[in-house]
Amino acid sequence: MSPRYRANQAGRIIAVVADVVAAVIVLWILMYLLDANRANDFVQFIHETARWLAGWSHDLFTFDEEWARVVTGYGLAAVVYLGVGHAIAGRASR
């Protein structure tokens, strides 16, 4: 295997991980907005995972409406994970 191939592969793996993390967070935002059944095990798993991943941005904004806090707090985390993950992936692919 050439070093160039390994670098591209590492970049792809990093980008996929960033995409999966952002997808979990966005999935929680959609479940929240669509009022998913919080007693469901899958919904609980997605919520707990998204809350852990976006812990640093949870309740960062203090809107009066809870849906606005969820969308902005978790949405910011998803955007940051995508941006930083793909930036690192780009550097790793060089």
3-state secondary structure 32-73: HHCCCCCCCHHHHHHHHHHHHHCHHHCCCCCCCCHHHHHHHH
Whole-structure pTM value: 0.88
Q: Which domain holds residue 10?
A: 3-92
Domain count for the chain: 1
* pLDDT value for 8: 82
Integer Cα distance of 55 and 34 in angstroms: 22
Integer Cα distance of 88 and 94 in angstroms: 10
Give pLDDT tens digits for 5-40. 666 888 899 999 999 999 999 999 999 999 999 999
Integer Cα distance of 89 and 94 in angstroms: 9
